[in-house]
Homo-oligomer: A and B are copies of this chain.
């Protein structure tokens, strides 16, 4: 395999909201503005290296075999199975907080495989990159989950039918949808927030959940914002995880009171997301949720965005 031009590619992959209330482990969407950058460049020295990671206060390993993004790219290079006389260097710039529930590791994995694929002259389609990024997620969370990484790579609303090998469906994304994200400054590890979930659920609650997921998807395809709002409920996961997030119920109530179609935990938290029909509403919702956190003395970051339907991109 020979080098293609240019010899350096910088890619961005966005932060993502997984679960989306009723879609535990199967639904995700991408947002604008928050995300990670990965620069891939050729090196004289064969092999893959992570030369720098910034923005994570030294918390992430630079060893390729221990790093989510590194493992994702290794998996991709292995699939290419070609002799290379050159090496590849990765510079990772984390522009979103770790452990926020916004798919931090997924953004790095998606940006990394996207950047390297561009650097190598696109041997893979965007969709074909997904299994490699899922490999990276497997290393990060202990299980292969495609919801964040599929949304980060492909953009828009994504349904994950199966995680490994990934079978993902790009759903329709209604144009007016805006997302408010509030990130209280506490950290929850995905592994821990998964441990507290019950292994069994009542059939009746499961039926309610799949009815809601079904109607949410119908609402997305028909741009029916009311139906989307009626569907954004989670009686199974949210009640268990919400106890880890101070002020959860009050924030959810404030969001709904200010016009949110729905509001729940982003991924495994502690961030919350709320969906609404306009930027004005999204901002009002953010203010109201922030007031709740202020009242209990918690610092937070607020982010407002439309749904990102582009996914990973070259900068």
Contacts and interface: CB of A to CB of B under 8 A. Distances in A.
A86 interface: no
Nearest to A168: B215
User: Secondary structure at chain A's binding surface: helix, strand, loop or mixed?
Assistant: mixed
Interface of A: 22-27, 159-162, 167, 169, 171-172, 197-204, 206-207, 209-215, 217-218, 221-222, 227, 230-231, 236
Nearest to A205: B206
Nearest to A210: B210
Contacts of A218: 159, 169, 171, 217, 221
Contacts of A172: 221
B212 A161 contact: yes
B169 A26 contact: no
Among A162, A212, A215, chain B packs the most CB atoms within 10 A around the CB of A215
Given A161-B211, A218-B171, A231-B161, A200 B197 contact: no
A230 B197 contact: no
A162 B172 CA distance: 23
A187 to B, nearest CB: 24
A204 B198 CA distance: 10
Contact of A26 (B22, B26, B210): B210
Contacts of A171: 218
Contact of A24 (B162, B207, B222, B236): B207
A169 B198 CA distance: 31
A167 B159 CA distance: 23
A259 to B, nearest CB: 21
Given A161-B212, A209-B210, A215-B161, A167 B230 contact: yes
Nearest to A219: B169
A200 B204 CA distance: 8
A15 B54 CA distance: 63
27 contacts: A23-B214, A24-B207, A25-B207, A26-B207, A26-B210, A26-B211, A26-B214, A159-B215, A161-B212, A161-B230, A161-B231, A162-B211, A172-B221, A199-B202, A199-B203, A200-B202, A206-B206, A206-B209, A210-B210, A210-B213, A210-B214, A213-B213, A217-B217, A217-B218, A217-B221, A221-B221, A221-B222
Contacts of A169: 214-215, 218, 227
Given A200-B201, A201-B206, 12 more contacts: A23-B214, A24-B210, A26-B210, A26-B211, A27-B214, A161-B215, A161-B230, A169-B227, A197-B203, A199-B204, A206-B209, A213-B214
